[in-house]
């Protein structure tokens, strides 16, 4: 029988969810270990676009390694009818490379006192009334009072907790070497393209000397997704650029009633299926859920395991309504993409999107705007 676990909190996976969790837990005084399969700085398939919500959490805690800040968005409808909206004031989005961004969070977690162990793959968990035993791929074991599962959308923790998903998408991305002309053309500007396949879209995100070009579409349409990326690149005149990286990754959105914990194990970020269903923006969800999981795990170390119940309550209160709103917008977008495109050209649509990007309003807040609510209801965005 275990009396004193090795750590108060063990975090599995060192992405934004795990590292924000570890930073928060360690800052609150918990003995915290992070177990990461890869070694930072490591690549992660991701647009690296931080909305204002993500920036608002990160900026006070880490040195945000911005590659660009965005003040204009070009919208296109499957490559056609492009138009650009310019924003004044605060940037709409901040562009980071995930290897830099996650490394900055790693440093913050270490500074707060977390023990970060890299090149360590977690293989299995077992728990009893006192602690969780974590087994690594090399057979080594450690024990912790609470485990935070933040191993992303392809990890083992969601299965352990029993998280179910009602939306799965495949994102494909290339990192292109930007020519001097590209750098001038794309500086401070992104492009969002609404794809012909329902619910799909593409993006160009500038990162100084690189352009991240990607597309996302419902899982199970690999050939169509690849074809969309090829056509998108050709339409942008970017087919001949040097491809520095070419990769894909799944995104998954949780079913609304899926569990967020099992005993002493919490899940956060992509492992919990916490993601904005329409834009598939996930960094703000990872940082928010990770921070709450870390704070609550540290509280459980002081007050007992009952404190963990506060975690699902926070997710249900703050993130579930946003995901519901995102599902409704995705429903409308999937059926009426031309109308969504046209809406972005209107002052009402643009202001709502701009405010969402800046983090001034949530998706649920967007849908509470009276004219948008009426339009979404009329267009059948019943959602979940
Ligand atoms: C193509 C694409 C583009 C995207 N663009 C954006 C965007 O522009 N903006 C945005 O906000 N979101 C974007 N997202 C979503 C965003 O990437 C994720 O939501 C975010 O990375 C989730 O962070 P996380 O910490 O939960 O997981 P991850 O970032 O996936 O981190 C999980 C970590 O766990 C580690 N790990 C996995 N298994 C194990 C194991 N068994 N043991 C130990 N470690 C393990 C991995 O190595 C990894 O470091 C995009 C997603 C995709 C697929």
Between the CA of 155 and the centroid of ligand 1 the distance, in Å, is: 10
Distance 103 CA to ligand 1 centre (A): 13
Report CA-CA distances (Å) from 3 to 24, 115, 168. Answer: 25, 21, 41
What is the DSSP secondary structure assignment for residue 179, as one 8-state letter? P
Of 83, 97, 93, 58, give the one whose Cα is nearest residue 175. Answer: 97
251-279 tens-digit pLDDT: 999 999 999 999 999 999 999 999 999 99
Domains and CATH numbers, the chain: 7-63+97-165+254-321 (3.50.50.60), 66-95+168-251 (3.30.9), 323-378 (no CATH)
- Own/partner long-range contacts of 305-314 (Cβ < 8 Å, ≥24 apart): 305/145, 305/146, 305/264, 308/146, 308/261, 308/264, 308/266, 311/260, 311/261, 311/266, 312/259, 312/260, 312/261
Interval between CA 249 and ligand 1 midpoint (Å): 9
Are β-strands 189-194 and 72-77 bridged in parallel, bridged antiparallel, or unpaired?
parallel
CB 300 within 8 A of CB 292: no
CA of 151 to the centre of ligand 1 (A): 8
307: helix, strand or coil: helix
- The pTM of the full predicted model, rounded to 2 decimals, is 0.97
The whole-number pLDDT of residue 382 equals 65
Note the pLDDT of residue 376.
84
Residues with CB under 6 A from ligand 1: 12-18, 35-38, 44-49, 121-122, 150-152, 155-156, 171, 173, 214, 216, 249, 251, 269-271, 275, 280-283, 286
* CB count in 10 Å sphere of residue 245: 12
Give the separation between CA 45 and CA 152, rounded to whole angstroms.
Answer: 12
The residue to mutate among 10, 15, 271, having the most atoms of ligand 1 within 8 angstroms of its beta carbon, is 15
Q: How far apart are CA 133 and CA 106, in angstroms?
A: 24
User: Each residue of 26-62: pLDDT tens digit?
Assistant: 999 999 999 999 999 999 999 999 999 999 999 999 9
Answer for the pair 148, 294: CB distance below 8 angstroms, yes or no.
Answer: yes
CA of residue 348 to ligand 1 center, whole Å? 32
Residue numbers in the chain where pLDDT is lower than 70? 1-2, 381-384
pLDDT confidence of residue 375: 85
Nearest CA among 16, 8, 22 for reference residue 117: 22
Rounded Cα–Cα distance for residues 280 and 381 (Å): 17
Of 190, 222, 282, 285, the one to substitute when testing ligand 1's pocket (max ligand atoms within 8 A of C-beta) is 282
The per-residue pLDDT for 374 is 85
Nearest residue (by CA) to ligand 1, atom 9, is 49
């Amino acid at each position: 029988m275990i009396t004193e676990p090795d750590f108060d909190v063990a975090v599995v996976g060192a992405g934004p969810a795990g590292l924000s969790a570890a930073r928060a837990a360690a800052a609150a005084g918990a003995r915290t270990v992070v177990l990461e399969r890869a070694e930072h700085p490591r690549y992660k398939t991701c647009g690296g676009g931080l909305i204002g919500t993500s920036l608002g959490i990160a900026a006070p805690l880490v040195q945000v390694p911005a590659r660009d800040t965005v003040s204009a968005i070009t919208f296109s409808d499957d490559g056609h009818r492009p138009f650009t909206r310019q924003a004044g004031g605060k940037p709409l989005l901040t562009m980071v490379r995930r290897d830099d961004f996650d490394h900055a969070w790693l440093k913050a977690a270490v500074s707060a006192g977390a023990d970060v162990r890299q090149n360590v793959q977690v293989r299995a968990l077992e728990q009893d009334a006192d602690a969780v035993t974590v087994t690594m791929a090399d057979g080594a074991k450690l024990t912790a009072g609470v485990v935070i599962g933040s191993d992303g959308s392809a990890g083992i923790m969601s299965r352990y907790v029993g998280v179910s998903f009602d939306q799965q998408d495949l994102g494909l991305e290339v990192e292109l070497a930007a020519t001097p002309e590209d750098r001038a053309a794309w500086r401070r500007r992104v492009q969002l393209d609404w794809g012909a396949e329902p619910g799909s879209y593409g993006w160009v995100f500038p990162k100084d000397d690189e352009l991240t070009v990607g597309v996302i579409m419902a899982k199970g349409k690999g050939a169509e997704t690849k074809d969309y990326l090829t056509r998108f690149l050709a339409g942008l005149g970017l087919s001949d650029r040097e491809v520095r990286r070419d990769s894909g990754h799944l995104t998954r959105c949780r079913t609304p009633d899926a569990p967020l914990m099992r005993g002493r194990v919490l899940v956060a970020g992509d492992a919990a299926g916490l993601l904005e269903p329409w834009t598939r923006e996930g960094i703000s969800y990872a940082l928010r859920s990770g921070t709450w999981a870390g704070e609550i795990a540290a509280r459980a170390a002081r007050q007992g395991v009952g404190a963990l119940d506060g975690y699902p309550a926070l997710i249900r209160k703050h993130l579930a309504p946003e995901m519901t709103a995102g599902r409704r917008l995705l429903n409308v977008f999937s059926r009426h993409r031309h109308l969504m495109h046209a809406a972005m050209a209107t002052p009402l649509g643009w202001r709502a999107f701009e405010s969402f990007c800046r983090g001034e309003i949530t998706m649920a807040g967007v849908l509470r705007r009276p004219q948008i609510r009426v339009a979404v209801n009329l267009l059948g965005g019943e959602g979940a």
